[in-house]
Amino acid sequence: MRNYKLEKLQNGEIFVTSEKGNSMTPLIKSGQKHKLAPVKWEYCNKKDIVYCKVKGNFYTHLVKAKNDDKGLLIGNNKGGTNGWTKQVYGRVIEVL
């Protein structure tokens, strides 16, 4: 299945997108538009919202922690975590 968000970020594009789901409420509400910009995991910090891949799944979720060896700990805004990853492709730069 084609991932247009991944393709755009890997091509260096900044674009507006949205997702369904309440895991990031109230930071991003279900269906709320937000702007993604390409980024490497090394330039992300705790509390950033990133577009990433963890254990085979793509998420727009929060950075919960950062570790030079493991990468970023990704999780939702409800207290859950998805795991550690260095496969980070974009960062939310604006919620519209």
Average pLDDT over all residues of the chain: 96
pLDDT band at 1; cut points 50, 70, 90: confident
Q: What is the mean pLDDT of residues 90-96?
A: 98
CATH number at residue 31: 2.10.109.10
Task: Please give the share of the chain, as a percent, with pLDDT higher than 70.
Answer: 100
Q: What is the mean pLDDT of residues 45-59?
A: 96
Task: Kindly state the DSSP code that residue 60 receives in the 8-state scheme.
Answer: E
pLDDT attached to residue 6 = 97
For the chain, the domain total comes to 1
Query: Which SS3 state, helix, strand or coil, does residue 22 take?
Result: coil
Length of the chain: 96
Q: What is the pTM of this model?
A: 0.95
The range of the structural domain enclosing residue 33 comes to 4-95
Q: What is the mean pLDDT of residues 69-91?
A: 97
| CB 8 within 8 Å of CB 17 | no
